[in-house]
Amino acid sequence: MLNKRVADGRIRDCHGDLHSAHICLTPEISIYDCIEFNDRFRYCDVASEIAFLAMDLDHFGRTDLSDAFIDSYLENSGDTEIRHLLDFYKCYRAYVRGKVNCFKLDDPLVPEDEKKEVKATAGSYFALAESYTI
């Protein structure tokens, strides 16, 4: 399936870090702060990019928006294979968000009380990642 996605042109230059903090809702939707410093992080399966935002919405308890986003993507793209890959990519993206949060735990400039919150946030992403494997 992954080889077919490559052949079908589903690997593209994407945002690379598409989560809700990078979306601004004004009269038009503005998506900003894509990964520009490393092409390898930005070129990916479109399914991974869709899964990233869907996972982030799941994390914030908005599975309704996550489902609506995925349904809209399916309707507009015809990319029906994505359903078979979403949990895989959601798990990966949730784990990465947990890992990125953990980087702050080693930062001596981050206050200890903030580190407790960071640890809880990272743990919630790791728990979410695990939920996609069940």
3-state secondary structure 107-123: CCCCCHHHHHHHHHHHH
Rounded Cα–Cα distance for residues 66 and 19 (Å)? 11
Strand partners, 13: 43
pTM for this one? 0.87
User: What DSSP element (H or E) covers 12?
Assistant: strand 11-13
Average pLDDT rounded to a whole number, residues 91-103 = 96
User: Where residue 45 falls among pLDDT bands split at 50, 70, 90?
Assistant: very high
C-beta separation of 68 from 98 below 8 A: no
Average pLDDT rounded to a whole number, residues 118-130 = 98
In the predicted structure, residue 83 carries a pLDDT above the cut 80 = yes
Average pLDDT rounded to a whole number, residues 91-106 = 96
- 3-state DSSP assignment of residue 29: strand
pLDDT at site 111: 95
Average pLDDT rounded to a whole number, residues 110-129 = 96
Mean pLDDT (the chain) is: 92
* Chain center to CA of 53: 5
pLDDT at site 51: 96
Q: Hunting for tokens 């870090």 — which residue is that? A: 17
81 burial (CB, 10 Å; 0-12 / 13-18 / 19+) is middle
